[in-house]
Structure 1
Amino acid sequence: MIIDDSRAMRSILRRILAGLDFETLEAGNGREALDLFEAGQVPDLCLVDWNMPLMDGYTFITEVRANRDWRDVTLMMVTTESEQGQIVKALAAGAHEYVIKPFTPDAIVDKLELLGLVNREVLA
């Protein structure tokens, strides 16, 4: 699931994930994403922006981590927030990885490989 209030950013991330054979859902903010979770559409992976209306990415991560049924979801922040304190806060809240915008497609693939979700050798 791609959670970002920018349609353009969701499109960029969708293309990267599609190239890795991921099926994607999209949400424009954390509240929309939680609504999808509550409706039973719980993904294996969420790429989460921090700054969004209604519910920001940090709050979304804390909500997901508070629900025992969703603890297996891999959460990766993809955001412009680059302060060390913000990164530590997101990781402490339950994010598995953190990518700072702007990024290259390889940066996303590298993080997904680190998380064991893709195998670059298979992609080659």
Structure 2
Amino acid sequence: MTGSDRSGADETPHVLLLEDDDSLRRLLRQKLEASGYETTALADGRECWAYLSTEEPPDLVLLDVMVPGLDGFRLLGRIRNDDRLEDVPVVVVSARAREEDVLEGYDLGADDYVTKPFSPSALVARIRQLLS
């Protein structure tokens, strides 16, 4: 069975969200949950890595770059170098919109890179596409 196979139609996809801005984290969590996703929302990169290291891998990770603890790019590198997590889709969501930042995200293995500000509805559509 591959990671994209679902054992049951009632299984809710799990999204791990790393965002240090409280209001944006709450907004994204509400939008994701209203769209049918189980969501774990964290604000610190080290806390996120601890979660990824000890819990069942999520179906997708939404990753802000500029967060306390362990920045999103370093975290993305760790995800892509971990056998348990290497195939989990990662969407970088960042205010770092310079071309070199976007390219760094893709070079590190991001599946998508969304720059702030963005439409939460469009982000959910991108997530749906990645998980289909």
Q: What is the TM-score when the length of structure 1 is the normalising length?
A: 0.87
Match of residue 78 from structure 1: 93
Hey, what's the Cα distance between the residues in 2 that align with 1:73 and 1:27? 17
* Match runs of 1:1-124 below 5 Å: 1-115=16-130, 117=131
Distance change >3 Å, CA 100–CA 46, structure 1 → 2? same
Give a deviation string over 1:27-52, Cα, whole Å, max 9, x none. 11221111011222421111111101
**Larger % of helix: which?**
1
- Give the residue type in structure 2 aligned to 1:101: K
Q: CA deviation at 1:17?
A: 0.7
Equivalent residues of 2:57, 2:84 under 8 A apart: no
Q: CA deviation at 1:71?
A: 1.1
- Give the residue type in structure 1 aligned to 2:68: P
Provide the secondary structure at the position in 1 that maps to 2:127: helix
Structure 1 residue runs of 4+, over 6 Å off?
A: none
Hey, what's the Cα distance between the residues in 2 that align with 1:113 and 1:43? 14
Query: Which structure 1 residue ranges, 5 or more long, are not aligned?
Result: 119-124
% identity of equivalent residues: 29
Equivalent residues of 2:18, 2:62 under 8 A apart: yes
Provide the secondary structure at the position in 1 that maps to 2:87: coil
Alignment root-mean-square deviation, CA: 1.3
Q: What is the TM-score when the length of structure 2 is the normalising length?
A: 0.82
Q: State how many pairs are aligned.
A: 117
Give a deviation string over 1:70-122, Cα, whole Å, max 9, x none. 1121100111110011001001101100111111123203322442x26xxxx
Deviating more after overlay: 24-33 vs 84-93: 24-33
Provide the secondary structure at the position in 2 that maps to 1:67: coil
Provide the secondary structure at the position in 2 that maps to 1:43: coil
Provide the secondary structure at the position in 2 that maps to 1:99: strand
